[in-house]
């Protein structure tokens, strides 16, 4: 079996930027490490004039972004086919429920930091290009519960006062600015996914079904195997007309696994050639209802 490498990333910001690397035909090894995907080291070089069959497993914002950039790239050879294999429907998991928050200046300072910046800038451009109504730049505050009069005290700070919403009038403690609206933004991920698929049209084929493995053949290198297809079980109501068929194969010479926490299933698909350790992270998300009698609210 060929050797595969991967990195699972939970930051949607990397999805667009890493996809842009593929679009610009930057070395696939770099894209491999940063896209949060699983691809053969030589899978996505598109210098050959022969048509390609590229399958992206996972229809969230990450997988759709990669598929969109590849499908609309001028480097993609004619008569190529780009397919998204999605178990439920596009943006059915985290991409359909996440807050879509982005911050350009945040990051861990590692080698992915430049991609983090690139992704933030690309979102703004693509949001306009695709006609996404939910994209907006907005300030971000860190607020803790505290004592009476804390909000009034914070408003006296000129930098904080200009970005504090009027409805923040309760008992609060320390307040600090995490972003003033120039490098922090928000978009509804599900809308972004939908808009990309609409714009791509028939350049991307969306197939509903659960991936069960890959088909391989003897590669050119000794001991290597090359991917020839992706196997899946059709979802009832999907594009496969024979719903009783237990397994279907999509022809593929390049495979990108971008299935979020389900990506660990690729350990079985590639018969132990890759290890994808997965662990959970506790987090809390709260959606506040807007105050009664208020037409527009300047925060989410």
Q: Is residue 142 part of a domain?
A: no
Host H or E run for residue 212: strand 204-218
| Tens of pLDDT, residues 134-154 | 999 999 988 888 877 778 888
Contact 68, 16 (CB under 8 A): no
Q: Is residue 33 part of a domain?
A: yes
Q: Is residue 50 part of a domain?
A: yes
Contact 41, 143 (CB under 8 A): no
Q: Is residue 119 part of a domain?
A: no
**Along the 300 residues of the chain, how does pLDDT read in single tens digits?**
332 222 222 222 333 333 333 333 332 322 333 333 333 333 455 556 789 999 999 999 999 999 999 999 999 999 999 999 999 999 999 888 888 889 988 877 788 888 888 889 999 999 999 999 999 999 998 888 887 777 888 888 888 888 888 888 778 888 888 888 899 999 999 999 999 999 999 999 999 999 999 999 876 666 677 889 999 999 886 555 455 568 999 999 999 999 998 999 999 998 888 888 888 888 777 777 777 877 776 554
Q: Is residue 264 part of a domain?
A: yes
Q: Is residue 169 part of a domain?
A: no
Q: Where does 131-284 have alpha helices with state H?
A: 150-155, 158-161, 189-200, 266-269
Distances (CA, A) of 252 to 49, 215, 248, 268, 286: 16, 9, 12, 18, 41
Number of domains forming the structure of the chain: 1
pTM: 0.76
Q: Is residue 244 part of a domain?
A: yes
Phi-psi region of 144 (alpha: psi -120 to 50; beta: other; left: phi over 0): beta
For residue 229, the enclosing domain spans 5-99+189-269
Strand partners, 172: 145
Q: Write the CATH number for 211.
A: 3.50.50.60
d(CA 198, CA 19): 18
Q: Is residue 138 part of a domain?
A: no
């Amino acid at each position: 079996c060929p050797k595969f490498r991967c990195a699972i990333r939970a930051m949607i910001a990397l999805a667009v930027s890493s996809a842009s690397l593929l679009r610009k035909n930057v070395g696939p090894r770099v894209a491999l490490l940063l896209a949060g995907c699983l691809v053969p080291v030589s899978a996505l070089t598109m210098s050959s004039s022969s048509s390609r069959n590229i399958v992206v497993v996972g229809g969230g914002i990450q997988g759709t972004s990669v598929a969109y950039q590849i499908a609309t790239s001028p480097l993609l050879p004619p008569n190529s086919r780009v397919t998204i294999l999605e178990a439920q429907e596009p943006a059915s998991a985290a991409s359909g429920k996440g807050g879509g928050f982005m911050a350009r200046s945040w990051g861990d300072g590692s080698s992915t930091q430049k991609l983090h910046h690139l992704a933030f800038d690309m979102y703004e451009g693509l949001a306009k290009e695709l006609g996404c109504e939910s994209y907006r730049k907005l300030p971000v505050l860190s607020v803790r519960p505290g004592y009476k009069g804390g909000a009034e005290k914070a408003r006296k700070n000129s930098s904080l006062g200009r970005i504090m919403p009027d409805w923040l009038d309760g008992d609060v403690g320390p307040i600090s600015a995490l972003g003033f609206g120039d490098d922090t933004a928000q978009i509804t991920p599900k809308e972004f996914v939908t808009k990309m698929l609409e714009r791509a049209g028939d350049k991307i084929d969306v197939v509903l079904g659960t991936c069960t493995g890959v088909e391989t053949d003897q590669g050119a290198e000794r001991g290597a195997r090359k991917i020839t297809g992706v196997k899946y079980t059709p979802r009832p109501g999907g594009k496969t007309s024979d719903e009783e068929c237990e397994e279907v194969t999509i022809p593929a010479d390049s495979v990108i696994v971008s299935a979020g926490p389900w990506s660990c299933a690729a350990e079985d698909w590639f018969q132990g050639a890759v290890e994808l350790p997965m662990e959970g992270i506790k987090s809390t998300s709260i959606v506040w209802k807007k105050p009664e009698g208020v037409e527009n609210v300047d925060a989410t």
